[in-house]
Homo-oligomer: A and B are copies of this chain.
Amino acid sequence: MASGELFDKSETLALRGKLIGPTCRLFFPHDPIKMVRARGQYMYNEAGEKYLDCINNVAHVGHCHPHVVSAASKQMETINTNSRFLHDNLVAYARRLAETLPPSLSVFYFVNSGSEANDLAVQLARRYTGNYDVMVMDNAYHGNTALLMDISPYKFKRAGSSGKRDWVHVVPAPSTYRKIFQEDNIDLGKAYADEVKKQLGDLKASEKIIAAFVAESLQSCGGQVIPPEGYFQRVIEHVHNAGGVFIADEVQVGFGRVGSSFWAFQLQHGFVPDMVTMGKPMGNGYPLACVVTTTAIASTSSIEYFNTYGGNPVSCAVGLAVLDVLEKEQLMENAKIVGAHLATRLRQLQSRHPIIGDIRGKGLFIGVELVLDRNTKEPATAEAQRVIFRLKDELVLLSVDGPACNVLKFKPPMCFTKADADLVTTKLERILTDIEDVGKNGTLDSGIESGMKQKDVSLPGTQAFTDEPLKV
């Protein structure tokens, strides 16, 4: 067995089947990967095979970054206690984060996960506005608490869920590829914002007022949707006029991933939300997340908020170390350069492969939408699955997402290189060519086989995988 292994892979899998909740799904459940080591943008399985990681946005500055590990270790040796005691790491980290934000966003609440952050943000919005209802974008995913499952169409629209609550209001995702408008050459930012205004007006007519409009700055699980310019600026105006606040969910896309700005909401020129939530990349794997808001919103409530681990000296030391690495290794600049390179390579593929319907994204957050027909835009769901299975066999980790599970999702560690981008796009080109050949010859079955190991084809895990796209 490999160093660090306790069981054979088959035993690990058997124990997992017995001991772990079945709704905690494995990546590639029909043939899961056992990882024993990771470094930078690479992960290694028990056989020593080296995978290129294109999906782990949590390992933001690279898996097991020594500066981050060292900061955590040193602080764990010294003191790690709750924020009812004064400690410098908490305020030093808050001050450092404040430097990345507009001045109005200045009061921090530290928590353990993006879910805790979004849940708290909605609670704060409710207390500040005195309202209860929440408005969200279609296909959005905001986290796993009861409240967040209720405001995530990505979850509540699925079979087996309890459906939409009457206090949840859904507006169209502002997609520039799958537009809901027939007209050409319209201002999409304004048109989608007008939809929000209209719904808010309808709610007002039935005496409903929202506490918050909650939106990912760039929609991730919902299919990597990039809002058109001018959308958020107009939406926040409508939301304020209706008595609500705007919560920008940066859990998946913050901390420089978009390359040109530290926060993805800053892609919308001059836009400043009322609250921002942060998570995944923040602690490079250490559970660390945050809500930042205005003094006006923060000063409303008198109910104590206590979070056992939130803002403890270790989590803040880790957060500071992640910011150090981002700066020292110029990873935002890297995301910009490598992201642009990856996008160019993907667009070259698009020119040769009609299955690529759309490429969209910013920096190292890029979605590639596969379609069967560029005119009808029919989702190429099975083909997208085949692509990631084939890539997996070739030791590249990529995932699919979106309502039709047909969007290839790039969100690698920020140390991803041009050579990595070349490697994955070269492999992708060959796989797309194979899939297209199969399509021409009408031998879909052999296409599936070429993308998956023979033993996998009949296993139910494959189906489960398609039902529940992966958000890593």
Contact = CB atoms under 8 A, between A and B. Distances in A.
A162 B13 CA distance: 46
A379 interface: no
A41 to B, nearest CB: 12
A107 B23 contact: no
Given A63-B80, A145-B146, A304-B25, A35 B90 contact: no
A311 B116 contact: no
A430 interface: no
Interface in A23-70: 23-27, 32-38, 43, 56, 58-59, 63-64, 66, 69
A56 B76 contact: no
Contacts of A32: 85-86
Contact of A116 (B80, B89, B116, B160): B116
Contacts of A287: 112, 287, 308-309, 315
Contact of A311 (B20, B115, B161): B20
B285 A312 contact: yes
B86 A64 contact: no
Interface stretch (A4-12, A226-234, A449-457): A4-12
Contact of A285 (B37, B114, B159, B309): B309
Contacts of A24: 83, 109, 304-307, 310-311
B285 A314 contact: yes
Contact of A86 (B4, B12, B310): B12
B116 A23 contact: no
Contacts of A72: 72-73, 76
B79 A37 contact: yes
B149 A123 contact: yes
